[in-house]
Structure 1
Amino acid sequence: MEFRHLGRSGLKISEISYGNWLTHGSQIEADAARACVHAALDEGITTFDTADVYAGTRAEAVLGDALKGQRREGLEIFTKVFWPTGPGPNDRGLSRKHIFESIHGSLRRLGTDYVDLYQAHRFDYSTPLEETLRAFDDLVRQGKVLYIGVSEWRAEEIARALEIAEQMGFDRIVSSQPQYSMLWRVIEPEVVPLCEKEGIGQIVWSPIAQGVLTGKYQPGQPPPAGSRATDEKGGANFVKRFLNDDLLTRVQQLKPIADEAGLTMAQLAVAWVLQNPNVSSAIVGASRPEQVHDNVKAAGVKLDAELMRRIDEVLGDSVVRDPAETTSPRSRP
């Protein structure tokens, strides 16, 4: 496993991290989840990403149980706050009340005294940004959170948070967690240049585009049984936009490129995002340990400029690049 600094912070994280969105507590049973986490540990992954909302808070509990007995100082545990975790109007968003209640619930479920990174899971238009940043800063000062970050924030939202932190003497954002893959490059025009300038690292999710970049979805064919596209608990909604025959045909044309590089298509997809120097880590998920063992082989892989050019040529205008695709709810969900 290779390690990278999280932005310009002193924290080093594994360049492939393990995430449990849409798996732990929902798609797979606890025993299978534990096996996947242990496979990640065996492969040298030290960075684990979750969120309070995943599987209605169950994902944090499953991860905490799977990591029990591990040396805490040897792990980096990340979680997030924003989406609803209860029925009340304050069980959501980035108010001081919800942030404090959420972190205490997360720490309890994860079985730890602190998290290494606490992330605002979306931008909250209903709460003053100063209130959110002060609450995060207080958690840092209390030792319950070591670093703070954001997920799916636009460049102008990150810039405003940095400005307030500078004015108020708050801890600065060190990370951004966006969706990023060969097919979804909306962070490249605005978010990445700002983050490079400000020392913020990307921890990217869905580098395999919900499994589409593995090549398992064939043009003109129904999705394979048991795949994410057939999971009505949530996965199907996220993968749906990629399931058109033109895009799937282009993805099949990546296979000779992967073969030439000596990689599986999944490994090529993960290695591709890691070529971006602003990416600190790529999050991979798994429902089976063998998926973890496969994906980690992308660590340390260098793709030459010609191969990267050929990937762009194959995918053409199927790539989504519009920064406006990064969105947060205008009112609390």
Structure 2
Amino acid sequence: MKILYLFDTTDRAESESVIEMAQHGVEPTICCRPDAPMRKRFEQAGLEVIPLPLRSKLDLQSIRILRQLRRSRQFDIVHAYYKIALTNYNLAAVGLPRVPVIAYRGIIGNLSYWDPFSWLSFLDPRIERIVCVCEAIRQYFLGKPFFLGLRLFSPEQVVTIHKGHQPQWYQQPEPQLPDDLQVPNEALVIGCVSRMKKRKGIIELINAFEQIPAEFNAYLLLVGPIEDKIIEQSVRRSSAAARIRLTGYRTDAPKIAGAFDIKTLPSLRREGLPRAVIEAMAQGIPAVVSDSGGNPDLVIDGQSGRVVPAGDTEALRVALTELIANPELRQQMGKAAAQRIKEDFTVEKTVTQTLKLYRELAPAAS
């Protein structure tokens, strides 16, 4: 089965799935940016890689390359992992024989009927399937109204396939907090690795944390680029400011995150399947997350962590306090979290489900 894969940059979980599918009879041709992080890995695995500049949603050079590729080769399926690559491909394929197209979606929202580029991506009638990284994204598509109550997407067209991971990708040999963060060795560390934006629930997290009694000696680490200045203001004004560290972007973020006692991501909306939560769980760190997006797909409430309603500061405080006060519960949930990633979010499962989808769309090729 010959598959044309369209990337922009490359993600490790997606890339390793493609490499694994090549071991199951798939003949991949991969288009990605020349500087894509996983390009070398593809080439080392013996897969064909065709560089695409992809400077914009309408990149004439990329369109020419893709159109020439379609004219000169026969593909059974086109699988687009990035919207920018999908829009350029759909323009390149105008007037050419139809090939089933699969589009990947990793976030909720940003899909407007009034945006012409939406009709060149997920609203394009040539899209046979949309693969969503979590169930919440699938439900977003199925529930999106069009006109007079009509729906553009059928349950058969939109499917959920989680990305697969390998726990060893995320293990930190010596996770530790750098001295410049000035966190006492005996402190219990609650950590959030994310872009520091209001919609990530950071202000609610700060408000919940300052209500946790100081005698627990808990510290809150907020690691990631600061995109909303109000978050800096909230930290400065907090009654718990002495125990909050707002680090900004850190190149050593994975090592810092490996030293967390509790991972939290209380997003308010538009969450996908957050890799930061996956990384923590794979390392045996229990997570306290909101019920936004794919968080509940990852964390089973009461087993591998806690899931609280998005925006509910009091529920967040209670869940964090429960884990802070109970070391045995943290250890138990952390162990369950690591097991969940190891068993339920594997590359093998992703490949099996994706191959099944390919066979449905191109039965003759299989």
TM-score with structure 2 setting the length: 0.35
Which one has the largest radius of gyration? 2
TM-score with structure 1 setting the length: 0.37
